[in-house]
Amino acid sequence: MHSTAEASPGHSARADGGAGGRPPSRSEVKNQAAREALAPLREGERPRAVTVAAIVAFVLAVANLVAYAAGLEVGGERPPVAVVAGQALVMLVAAWGMWRARYWAVLGMQALLGLLIVILALVALTAEDVFGALLLLAIILAAGTLFWFLVKAMARIQMPTRR
């Protein structure tokens, strides 16, 4: 059993915040100030970035299914239905989870955005025309912006309710 004087793992119980009597670093002071500035979510509240991400995920899932149903070919052939259905299912689950402001869904969406950014950056290196490179850059910037705004939203989602 822990006493109230003991610290939880990863947190110092010392008033000075440092181990061995050292004061906390400037970055830890900034981090603590940022954590204290966050307001916990109210009941039923969803951060705007999470709402946007949920809508984006839903639209992408539906667009994928519509494109497949319309007979769209990728590289001259139709992708397997299982691949299209699997991608749509992942995006629909992410959309549902984010609509309900679930941490795991936001984290998963950030992982997908991170992969998208890296893959498109690599593809942009081999772009054959200016229009293609600009289109890839626009998608990368949009994905990066959404990723950035989801970081703060994730912090608010996992925050305990203050008493």
Output the six-digit token pair for 30: 């900034």
Instruction: Report pLDDT digits (tens) over 79-103.
Output: 999 999 999 999 999 999 999 989 9
For residue 143, the SS3 value is helix
Cβ atoms of 143 and 34 within 8 Å: the answer is: no
Cβ atoms of 28 and 17 within 8 Å: the answer is: yes
Beta-ladder partners of 74: 77
Structure-derived torsion over alpha carbons of residues 65, 67, 73, 75, reported in degrees to the nearest 10:
-90
Give pLDDT, residue 68.
94
What are the domain boundaries of the chain?
48-158
For residue 54, the SS3 value is helix
Instruction: Report pLDDT digits (tens) over 145-163.
Output: 999 999 988 888 876 554 4
Average pLDDT (2-7) is 43
In degrees and rounded to multiples of 5, residue 77 shows phi and psi of: -145, 155
